[in-house]
A and B are shown apart, each in its own frame.
Chain A
Amino acid sequence: MANDSFHGHPEVVTTHEVHHDEHHVHHHKETFITKYVFSQDHKMIAKQFLITGMIWAIMGGLMSVLFRLQLGYPDQTFPWLEDILGRWARGGKISVENYYALVTMHGTVLVFFVLTGGLSGTFANLLIPLQIGARDMASPFLNMLSYWFFFGGSIVMLASLFIQTGPFSGGWTFYPPLSALGDASPGSKAGADYWIIGMALFIISSLLGGLNYIATILNMRTKGMSMSRLPLTCWALLFTAILGVLSFPVLLSGVLLVVFDRHAGTSFYLADIFVGGKALPNEGGSAILFQHLFWFLGHPEVYIIILPAMGLVSEIMAINCRKPIFGYMAMVGSLFAIAILAFLVWAHHMFVTGLNPFLGSVFVLLTLLIAVPSAIKVFNWLTTMWRGNIRFTPAMLFAVGFVSLFISGGLTGIWLGNSTLDIHLHDTYFVIAHFHIVMGVSAFFGMFAGIYHWFPKMYGRYMNNSLAYIHFWVTLVGAYLIFWPMHYQGLAGMPRRYFDYSQWLSFSQFSDLNKFISTVAMIVFAVQLLFVFNFFYSIFKGRRVTSTNPWHATTLEWTTPVRPGHGNWPGEIPEVHRWAYDYGKDGRDFIPQTEPVGPNESKHH
């Protein structure tokens, strides 16, 4: 192959191997604490991220069910809510401040703790060492810290739900002055400080993890694993980690300035404010500055969420179509293009902030440019399916669902990225529909696909297929039923983050629809619980995996034992001789990456 020059120095690889083999043979005694709690095994850390993420996802989902209850049935009371939630729902009705707290925490939890921590944390940890042929991460210790900072951040964020003034309630975007002024909203009192501390810990976790992923992919690939032979999952996770490492510090610094404004009397974001019956001393700050800093992370963040899903889906598509992924280099190139453009489009969230219209126009151009690599990816997935021999494993179903949702949500991005349309649609339900489909539900679909597909690797058992089919079809249909009609609410100009629409002439016509959406949301949530049950039940009671390579896949993780120990391969690390996508080549169903290229083998791509 022409790209052989890419791959790592053989000497270095050998030293690694020797070192690790030694490690493996004289294994330290594992105690419960070192194996399950402060584990440095990337596979265990992946499981810790996954299960913590799942707990967060259940809570975040439950929050949405609770506030959908208010939106669907604004004039009813549910006495049992008071039994469960206490003062959050006095008289069986969620109060305004708690409604906004729920909305805010739903966003924060799902965007950061589930779809960033839970998704990247799980699959980067699980797949990077296994797929590149490494015994563990570059620094297993930092990797462990990464999880425990995530855990710490989770605890602080969770604690904020229980403080007297309530958790932060000004929206997950944390815009000051609202987030900086305790007098402007009860959630901006102690809740905002908890939010900041929780996020700071989360960001540290994300940085430790991200640096580790990058270092591991660049330095620890096994012999023969050139960059151009990497599975697309690893490419996607690499770009994700780079995005995170470059953008999360900006959020941290932006939020740090809010801390100064809150507690040190500075005026980074505050100017000319009269609140709580008095004028504040702050002058000269710019509230919009925060939005620039926030979205400099915030926009890459949506790609941090979606790129891993794209990687997982690409891999699962190829395996279950029994065909190579179509256009491997174009797939890598489009990931790269998306990663670059992700940093150049942040101000499309700010078209109506009073941004200079010329600056806005530049961001329109760059934003719509992202549609090009996205289109390439979609067409490549479609061509991968074309003339395949498709097995509908649960993972494949979710991969197909992912593509469908990514198309639907991606196309409305072309609406919102165009400043002219954004003037009308900004902060309406159209936006809710767009981003829930394209980065909420579809990222979840990528995550589900990954969980179903790699569950045998994680636990040596299968998940139940029938429950998985029910899970898939109800979730796909439900997601469209919930979010598709919201486009129409957006086209009526209906603003997001409203507690009650009944006093509005322009928006109250949707009360039936709101009821319908809320009902579907509850059903879909219940089905997710079925998935959770399936997951935990299958860990202990699922059908056992008997062969090392149950999906007939080419990549290295399936050359390890069914339940690999710390170090992954009992013997030497396998050497790689080909790319990851030799499916259906020369009449053979699949050729593992470890198989040397035969003398009569036809040349591939």
Chain B
Amino acid sequence: MTTTGFFIVAILALGFLITFQIAKASEYVSILKGEKKSFEQNNKINAFLMVVFLVLGLIGVWYCNKLLYKKTLLPYPSASEHGENIDTMLWITLIITGAVFIATQILLFWFAFKYQHNDKRKAYYYPHNNKLEVIWTTIPAIALCVLVGFGLFYWFRITGEAPKEAMQIEVTGKQFEWIFRYPGRDNTFGKKYFRLIDPGKLNQLGMLWSDTTLQGPSRPDHHDHTKMVSTSTELKADPAGFDDIIIQSKPMYLVKGQPVKLIINAQDVIHDVGLPHFRLKMDAVPGTPTTMWFTPKYTTEEMRQITGNPNFDYEIACDQMCGNGHYSMRGVIKVVTRDEFILWRAQQKPAYADFNPNAGGTAPAGDAQPADSVQAVSKVVK
């Protein structure tokens, strides 16, 4: 250990020792002074500190808000309509719980101070009062009904069916990155199967791009237990997947004002698509696809102006502990205008082309002219 280390430990030990000696001395002093007197003194000090704590605490709450409010997401509008609902709900809840917080904390510490021990005061024998109990059962119950009512109203709005015109994007979480898939010009996702995942062959998602025979484990025959049966499965290539666009380690593009429905998967462990600026979140569960939809309200550019931060980007944060790289599982969303989106889409090559460069004409989207695909894409988008 370094000398500074020793030094710090020594200082700490010394501090402990001094505190302890003073504490011990004060105990002797209290015996000398008489227990009653020292009790009364300590009681006064602690009762006084109760009010001090209350006052400084409330000032602290205000000061903390002053320092930190601007660092939260609340000074800026939410980037989705759902997020606006959530913000409204947040303010309603804050007003109700905030009022209760201030009232009860004031009562608590004020009572502590006001009713501190005093030889002249007799405690008031007051074991129960049913009327009071009824009052503070019903009032919280009513307040909570209000909160439940608003909460569920927004909840069903947010979790309801996505609009028909919603753009669909598949999001796949894996340790420790996000992969996005757009359905391509046929607007249909090609089938995939997790056993076909083969990063070496550039098939990150396990797309059914070619006819495959899957060799399963052999098992004893049902009828004749001495025989083994191999379980193989024939999988046909799914042409719908030939034009799917797969985006890896690059941003996901969304269109301002167009609803988007995310179909969320995971390949290994549970992840979570967290979108703080849109106020949304949904787990990515292996084996159980989940969905989430929303409508972006501001393009990334607009948000840069709103926040006054030229480097602003919408981020996807993994919100479910997924292993040692959890903290680095970052994705970026670019919200753009429809025209920009069409242009971006035109530049994307279907992933199948990389998987099977020789496929040529068999990949319907692979050889499309840029002009063609702009048109095609615009049909898909709207």
Contact = CB atoms under 8 A, between A and B. Distances in A.
Q: Do A and B bind each other?
A: yes
Interface of A: 79-80, 83-84, 96-97, 100, 169-171, 175, 177-178, 181, 184-186, 270-275, 277, 279, 281, 283-288, 321-330, 352-354, 357, 360-361, 364-365, 368-369, 371-372, 375-376, 378-380, 382-383, 385-392, 397, 400, 403-404, 407-408, 411-412, 414-415, 418-421, 423-424, 426-428, 464-467, 469-470, 473, 476-477, 480, 484-485, 488, 491-493, 495, 497-501, 503-507, 509-510, 513, 526, 529-530, 533-534, 537, 543, 581, 583-587, 604-605
A392 B47 CA distance: 7
Contacts of A378: 104
Interface stretch (B112-120, B182-190, B351-359): B112-120
A467 B279 CA distance: 46
Nearest to B38: A465
Contact of B121 (A169, A371, A389, A469): A389
B117 A488 contact: no
A420 B86 contact: yes
B126 A383 contact: yes
B81 interface: no
B235 to A, nearest CB: 13
B360 interface: no
A53 to B, nearest CB: 22
Contact of A321 (B68, B123, B148): B123
Contacts of A587: 122
Contacts of A368: 144, 147-148
B324 interface: yes
B287 A283 contact: yes
A552 to B, nearest CB: 12
Interface residues of B, number: 126
The listed residue with most B CB atoms (<10 A of its CB), out of A80, A83, A604, is A80
The 5 closest A-B pairs by CB, nearest first: A493-B276, A271-B287, A354-B290, A498-B327, A357-B159
Interface of B: 1-2, 5, 12, 16, 19-20, 22-24, 26-27, 30-31, 39, 42-43, 46-47, 49-50, 53, 57, 60-61, 64-65, 68-69, 71-74, 83, 85-86, 89-90, 93, 96-97, 100-101, 104-105, 107-109, 111-112, 115-118, 121-129, 132-133, 136-137, 140-141, 144, 147-148, 150-152, 154-156, 158-160, 174-175, 194-195, 197, 199, 206, 217, 264, 267-270, 272, 274, 276-277, 279-283, 285-288, 290-291, 311-313, 315, 317-328, 330
A513 B279 CA distance: 23
Contacts of B118: 389
A9 B140 CA distance: 41
A319 B199 CA distance: 69
Given A324-B126, A407-B108, A466 B26 contact: yes
Given A392-B46, A427-B281, A361 B322 contact: no
Contacts of A390: 43, 47, 112, 115-117
Given A281-B217, A418-B147, A510-B71, A476 B53 contact: yes
A272 B317 CA distance: 23
Given A376-B137, A411-B100, A466-B23, A275 B175 contact: yes
A353 B290 CA distance: 8
Given A371-B140, A375-B140, A400-B108, A424 B43 contact: no
Given A273-B194, A385-B112, A184 B124 contact: no
B226 to A, nearest CB: 23
A415 B117 CA distance: 37
What's the dominant secondary structure at chain B's contact region? helix
Contacts of A283: 287
Contacts, number: 377
Given A383-B132, A484-B64, A185 B148 contact: no
A470 B46 CA distance: 11
B197 to A, nearest CB: 5
Contact of B104 (A407, A466, A498): A407
Contacts of B61: 484
Given A371-B140, A488-B71, A272 B286 contact: yes
A83 B1 contact: yes
Contacts of B206: 274, 279
Contacts of B268: 177, 181, 184, 273-275
A61 B256 CA distance: 47
B15 to A, nearest CB: 8
B115 A371 contact: no
A287 B287 contact: yes
Contacts of A186: 324
Given A420-B151, A495-B274, A321 B27 contact: no
A360 B156 CA distance: 10
Nearest to B204: A274
Nearest to A476: B53
Nearest to A464: B23
Given A322-B123, A323-B123, A354-B288, 6 more contacts: A100-B324, A170-B323, A175-B269, A424-B83, A497-B321, A504-B315
B43 A392 contact: yes
A26 B112 CA distance: 49
